[in-house]
Structure 1
Amino acid sequence: MSTSQPDASRSSGDRCTPDHVLHARTGTDVSPEDVVLAAGRDITPRNLEWARRKLETEGPAALDKLLP
C-alpha cells in the first residue's frame, strides 16, 4: 500500500501566505452588506442596522476584524 506524502510535492519556496497579503478589502468602500456577510449573518433589516452602527464606530476596519 502506498502512502501519500503531501510535503514531498511542495517546492522549497512554498510558504504560508504572510498576514500583510491577506486582506479582503480592495480599497473600495465597505458596505453594511459586506459586514453582515463577513459576520456570517443573513441580510435582514436588523443585521443591516447592526452593520451600519459597527461601520460608524469602527470604520472600514470593522470588516477586517470580522475576517480571519
Structure 2
Amino acid sequence: MSASTPEESRASDDVRTPDALLHSAPAGNVSAEDLVMAAGRDVTPKNLAWARRKLESEGSAAIEKLLP
C-alpha cells in the first residue's frame, strides 16, 4: 500500500487560497481588504468601497457576520 500526499488526493478542480494571501488582523483592527477577502470577493475598488461603507456602519462586527 502506498501513501499519497495531500496534493495527490485532491480533486483537480479543488481551488485553495495560497497561504501567502491569507493573513489575520488583531481583534478590532479589520481593514476593508480583510472584509473583501473574507467575503470571498476580488479586491477591486468597487468591493473595497463596499467594505469601507460596511465597516463604517457596522465596525469590526461586519466580518463576524460573514463567519459560519
TM-score between both structures, scaled by the size of structure 1: 0.60
RMSD value, Cα: 1.7
Aligned partners of 1:34, 1:63: CA distance in 2, in Å? 8
The unaligned stretches of length 5 or more in structure 2 are: 1-23
1:40 aligned partner? 40
4+ aligned runs moved over 2 Å, structure 1: none
The unaligned stretches of length 5 or more in structure 1 are: 1-23
Structure scoring higher RCO (CA < 8 A, sep ≥ 6) equals 1
TM-score between both structures, scaled by the size of structure 2: 0.60
Shift of 1:26: 4.0
1:62 aligned partner? 62
Sequence identity, in percent?
64
After superposition, give the CA deviation of every residue in 1:6-54 in whole Å (9 maximum; x if it has no partner).
Answer: xxxxxxxxxxxxxxxxxx7642500000100111100000000000000
Whichever of the two has the greater Rg, that structure is 1
Aligned partners of 1:55, 1:65: CA distance in 2, in Å? 12
How many residues matched?
45
